Amino acid sequence: MILNEYKYELGTIERGYNNRSLYINLSDNTIKEKEVTQFMKDKFIGGKGFGLWYLWNAVTPETKWNDPENEIVIAHGPIAGITQYPGSGKSLVVTLSPLTHMPMDSNVGGYFGPYLKFSGFDALELQGKAEKDVIIFIDGNRGIVQIMESDVEEKDSHLLSEILTDRFAKNEEDKKNVSVVSTGSAADNTLIGLLNFSFYDIRRKAVRLKQAGRGGIGTVFRDKKIKALVVRFEGTKGNLNNPADQGKINKAGIKLHREICLLDDKQNRMRKIGTANIIEIMDQYDLLPTHNYKFGSHKDTYKISSDKFQARVTQGLPDGCWYGCSLSCAKAADDFIPETGPYKGQKVIVDGPEYENAAALGSNIGVFDRDAVLELNFYCDTYGIDTISFGTLTAFIMECYENGILDKEKTGGLELYFGNKEAALELIHQMARGEGFGKIAGLGIRRMKKIFIEEYGADADFLNDIGMEQKGLEYSEYLSKESLAQQGGYGLTNKGPQHDEAWLIFMDMVNNQIPTFEDKAEALHYFPMFRTWFGLMGLCKLPWNDIVPEDNKYTDEPAKIPEHVQNYVDLFNGITGKNIDKHELIRQSERVYNFQRIFNIRMGYGKRIHDRTPYRSMGPVTEEEYLSRQERYDNQLKELVGIDPEGMTTKEKIAALRKYREDQYEKLTDAVYQRRGWTMDGVPTIKKLKELDMDIPELIEVVEQHL
Amino acid sequence: MIIVNGKEFPWEEGMTVRRLLELKKYIYPRITVKINGQIVNEEEYDTKVINDGDNVQCIHLMAGG
Amino acid sequence: MKVLKKDPEKCIACHACEETCSKLYFKEENPDKACLRIKETDSHPEIITCTQCGECIDICPVIAITRDKNGIVRIDQKKCVGCFMCVGFCPELAMFMHDDYIEPFKCVSCGQCVKVCPTGAIYISEE
């Protein structure tokens, strides 16, 4: 049954913009177009910038994630949809997060974003709540948007996306023209729900999924009673963006294709194994989160190393999540047969394995079993759960279990010790069914800490030390203990501890390239700003530095990959006809980055106190941790702290090291805030906003209350 | 004693670049090695000898996940 | 299968082959729009031609490149989305593109260039 239908004029994209967006309110089934103004393009560029701006206008400081006025905004960006440069098909999803109560943004592949763009819209705003489950369909060739009641029984993404692709495609040949956004049954029952964006794999003849994973966006999606979004667009070509200078884009793209062709096998093997290439490397450098981030390596890591996964990736042909991505990190394990759950015994495709999944669902919860990792990965995806949050929160639960804070009685019989794959799988099935301990686990670490303290009498200090969340979001999968810069890379972020702003571990800990606070602060300014830019454009981060030109090492700043930065400048100028340089690129990001910070402040967060991190991210919490790396820590006490550890108890040594490290983090915070043009409380100054041409009255109004 | 990435590291007679990378467990595939500021090409790792007192940089080029 | 073969020693870099090819394909004499290339170097010229090896077939994200019943690797321009991955990944660098067009182009062993080559530096061989 169709609840509302809206017809719109088809248009053409001009220099990367449609100059209009699509607004849908599910409470009253409004469908309308909005103008994308020059102001929006100047200040917010596109993608996550547009998402944040629309959300800012939709909510008040009192809005909660499950209020009808909260929105989910999906936007791509001016460069998105080109087919010549690898990684150019990304969507940015923005919403108020149920985990952090602040704006969340997530960068996701799949064909939805480009097809939304080709259908005529620079963003899709979803507000309100439907009464019954709905499907929203955008027909980009006929100019029709429909809201229809859902008649689909299936609740999990791998089936939903397949059924809807079949239904909305005219025939097999047409399936590649359809993309579905959906989530799974666990998004109904947890706060860590994700969105799956589909693309049709014409070689496998199967629907594949990419995830907007972080921050519970899928939970908001289901709260609005959206079953799925479907877009259909036939006629993809390489020039639909009508760029100012197609030749400039072609040149940059072909140069990078060639680079990948010649160098990827020697560098990161992204085409062969994808991001999983670093599992054993992280282990070797003591950076692979193991047993809830206690340790950075494990003797059994070889059982989940990249070659074990490669053996299970059966296609042998590299595939990308948008046309023209020759880096092709997307991987899949075909004909996987789960041993548990509702799909037990059926042949399924597991999208992955990604590094993050191997660490979150493997080493961090002590499961050194490739097929168990794949099964958890499959169920996380199809149930609509963020693998990172699931892994990190399960690791937290397991440490609580081993410390007697939880027991079989409290978990309803689940023996959640490290390495118990059966219990981890049952936990995820409970999340999907909305039953038992799975319901508590699905609330995330922050809320679990509260429950364990208030109801089970757990030691608050201990839980706050070992619970690897900040701002309400679970940590992603790198051990930051030995890299102060990365502690800041996780802690001094807008949306929570996620390494998509900065990954500085090697620069800092191994290479020792940024020894002073000022050096680290410069890195924690430049890299977050540079990486924010991908989210404004609809781009992927990987082709920036997971492949580098052969002569990169001879450049003045190898870590920035100067040639690739120039490629991005060329892409933007080629599309828009503007003439920015690499400095203006950073300023574009700074505008949106500071805006997001102010948005956080407006929601009651975003200050220094919210940038503090759990001690587990900074150093050894327990004696077990200290003793496992005793020589290293003893040496640091001697050389860095200036204390002779001789004769001290382990407890005293832990305390002395902690005092030193916490102090270092505070000093780092000072330096970073200063570099970013913020007060020592983390508030962007009016001077900074003026410098950025972001002295917009409503922003000034927010910051003035905090200066 | 030599300096590796700004920190002291014990030197041994006849130490090649390859040997140093092994001792440091530097298995990452994209490392740029510089001895006293001069880049050493990968083909020379087995033959290039590090002298006592050299300042060695093993720059891992990775900006992560 | 017919394959355009080369004997660079004989090439005198007159570029007649390129002109014939671009005229046939794009109705203009423009070596930048030819499906083979003569690159002048310090020694004898280099001839860049497609060997019909088919590496590009698996590279194409939309299966727009296929081998026809005669073994010739062809591009379906309608299916092509203009990503140019095939251009970057061709082992012979014999997949070409020009900014006037959003699809790449390549040699299909038609043999017209062979007819105008004065020295026999290119020839069609049955493989």
The model's pLDDT over A345-402, given as tens digits with 9 standing for 90+, comes to: 999 999 877 899 999 999 999 999 999 999 999 999 999 999 999 999 999 999 999 9
Please indicate, yes or no, if residue A545 is contained in any of the structural domains. Answer: yes
Q: How many domains does chain A have?
A: 3
Strand C46-48 with C37-39, pairing = antiparallel
For A145-178, b/e burial (b = at least 16 CB within 10 A) is bbbbebeeebbbbbbbbbbbbeebbeeeeebbbb
Q: Please determine, for residue A290, whether its predicted confidence score (pLDDT) is greater than 70.
A: yes
Query: What are the residues whose beta carbons fall under 8 Å from the beta carbon of B20, sequence distance 6 or more?
Result: B4, B9, B50, B56, B58
From CA A286, how far away is CA A210, in angstroms rounded? Answer: 29
Name residues 60-119 of chain C within 8 A of A (Cβ).
61-63, 80-85, 87-89, 97, 99, 102-103
Buried b (16+ CB within 10 A) or exposed e, A575-604: bbeeeeeeeebbebbbbbbbbbbbbbbbbe
For the stretch A489-520, pLDDT in tens is 999 999 999 989 999 999 999 999 999 999 99
- Give whole-number Cα distances, A611 to A208, A371, A460, A499, A669, in Å: 36, 37, 19, 14, 9
The reply to whether residue A285 touches residue B64, judged by beta carbons under 8 angstroms, is no
Interchain contact A256–C (C-beta under 8 A):
yes
A426 and A496, same domain (yes or no): no
- Domain match, A380 and A495 both: no
Report the neighbours of B using a cutoff of 3 or more CB pairs below 8 angstroms.
A
- Angle A562-576/A517-537 helices, nearest 10 degrees? 30
**DSSP assignment of A398-420, as one string?**
HHHHHTTSS-TTTTTT----TT-
Domain B2-60 has CATH 3.10.20.30: yes
Q: A240 in a domain, yes or no? A: no
> Are residues A215 and A352 both part of a single domain?
no
Which of B20, B38, B59 is the best substitution to test chain A (most A C-beta atoms within 10 A)? B59
Residues A411 and A493 in one domain: no
- Asked if A254 lies within 8 A of C97 by C-beta distance, the reply is yes
Residue A25 inside a domain? The answer is yes
Is B27 within 8 Å of chain A by CB?
A: yes
pLDDT of residue A312: 85
List chain A residues with CB under 8 Å of C103. Answer: 238
Are residues A666 and A693 located together in one domain of the fold? Answer: yes
* A527–B62 C-beta distance less than 8 A: no
Q: Tell me the backbone φ, ψ of residue B6, rounded to 5 degrees.
A: 80, 0
CA–CA distances in Å: residue A237 to residues A536, A575, C97, C99: 22, 15, 15, 14
Predicted confidence (pLDDT) per residue in A318-350, tens digit: 789 999 999 998 889 999 999 999 999 999 999
Residues A560 and A679 occupy one common structural domain: yes
In CATH, the number for domain C2-126 is 3.30.70.20
Residues of A in contact with B58 (CB under 8 A): 510-511
Each residue's pLDDT tens digit, A627-685: 999 999 999 999 999 999 999 999 999 999 999 999 999 999 999 999 999 999 999 99
pLDDT (average), residues A573-600: 98
Is A255 among the domain residues? no
Average pLDDT over residues A547-558: 93
> From the list B5, B29, B65, which residue is nearest A510 (CB)?
B5
Q: pTM for the complete prediction? A: 0.97
Alpha-carbon distance values, A365 to A151, A308, A389, A425, A453 (Å): 38, 18, 12, 12, 22
Q: What percent of chain A has pLDDT over 90?
A: 95
Same domain, A36 and A151: yes
Q: What is the CATH number of the domain that holds A398?
A: 1.10.569.10
Query: Are A122 and A142 part of one and the same domain?
Result: yes
Distances in whole angstroms, Cα of residue C69 to Cα of each of A432, C1, C73, C78: 51, 9, 10, 19
Q: How confident is the model at residue A605 (pLDDT cuts 50, 70, 90)?
A: very high
Check whether residue A377 and residue A505 sit in a common domain.
Answer: no
- In angstroms, what separates the C-alpha of A216 from chain B's closest C-alpha? 20
Which of C58, C87, C102 is facing A257, going by the closest CB pair?
A: C87
Residue A310's pLDDT band, with cuts at 50, 70 and 90, is: confident
Tokens 């493997």 label which residue? A362
Average pLDDT of every residue of chain A: 97
**Interface with A, mutate which of B20, B22, B30 (most A CBs under 10 A):** B30
Q: Give CA–CA dist A144/A639, Å, rounded.
A: 68
CA gyration radius, chain C: 14
Cα C109 to the chain's mean position, in Å?
Answer: 8
Give me the torsion for CA of A253, A256, A258, A263, rounded to 10°. Answer: -160
Whether residues A515 and A380 share a domain: the answer is no
pLDDT, position B63: 60
Which residues are bridge partners to A232 per DSSP? A139, A178
**Does residue A311 register a pLDDT over 90?**
no
Supply φ then ψ for residue C114, to 5 degrees.
Answer: -60, -35
Asked if residue A161 belongs to a domain, the reply is: yes
Last residue of a domain, one of A441, A474, A507: A474
**What is the C-alpha separation between A75 and B38, in angstroms, rounded?**
46
Q: Is C92 within 8 Å of C50 (Cβ atoms)?
A: yes
Examine the domain organization and report whether A559 and A692 are in the same domain.
Answer: yes
Whether the per-residue pLDDT at B62 is higher than 80: the answer is: no
Contact yes or no for A104/A97 (Cβ under 8 A):
yes
Query: Do residue A84 and residue C84 have CB atoms under 8 angstroms apart?
Result: yes
Q: What is the least distance, in Å, from the CA of A305 to any CA of chain B?
A: 14
Question: Which residues in chain B have Cβ-Cβ distances shorter than 8 Å to A482?
Answer: none
Residue from the list C63, C82, C89 with its beta carbon closest to the beta carbon of A84: C82
Q: What is the pLDDT of residue C74?
A: 98
Scan for tokens 């913009």, then name that residue: A17
Distance CA A544, CA A565 (A): 8
Q: Which domain holds residue A196?
A: 2-232
Q: Give the pLDDT confidence score for residue C43 in this predicted structure.
A: 83
CATH number for the domain that contains residue A597 = 1.10.599.10
- A225 and A85 assigned to the same domain: yes
Whether A contacts B, i.e. 3 or more CB pairs less than 8 A apart, is: yes
CB contact B49 to A (< 8 Å): no
Instruction: Check whether A317 has a pLDDT greater than 80.
Output: no
Q: What is the ipTM of this complex?
A: 0.97
Q: Confidence band (pLDDT; 50, 70, 90) for B65?
A: low
Buried-exposed string C64-82: b where 16+ CB fall within 10 A, e elsewhere: bbeeeeeebbebeeebbbb
- Is residue A479 domain-resident? no
**Chain centroid to CA A123:** 19
Sheet holding A226-232, edge to edge: A2-7, A144-149, A134-139, A226-232, A178-182, A195-201, A206-212
> Is the Cβ of B58 closer than 8 Å to some Cβ of chain A?
yes
pLDDT in tens, C55-95: 999 999 999 999 999 999 999 999 999 999 999 999 999 99
Q: Do B65 and A505 touch (CB under 8 A)?
A: no
Asked if B touches C (at least 3 Cβ pairs < 8 angstroms), the answer reads no
Quote the pLDDT of residue B64.
60
Q: List the single range of A60-64, A271-275, A394-398 with lowest mean pLDDT.
A: A271-275
Classify residue A249: in a domain, yes or no.
no
Counting residues of chain A whose pLDDT is more than 70, the rounded percentage is: 100
Residues in CB range of A170: below 8 A, 6 or more apart = none
Amino acid letter for position C39: K
Alpha carbon of A324: minimum distance to chain C alpha carbons (Å): 5
Nearest-Cα residue of chain A relative to residue C93: A258
In sequence order, which residues have a C-beta less than 8 Å from that of residue A300 and are 6 or more positions away? A368
CA angle A159, A165, A170 (to 5 degrees): 145
Q: Which of A173, A239, A323, A547 to mutate to test the interface with C (most CBs of C within 10 A)?
A: A323
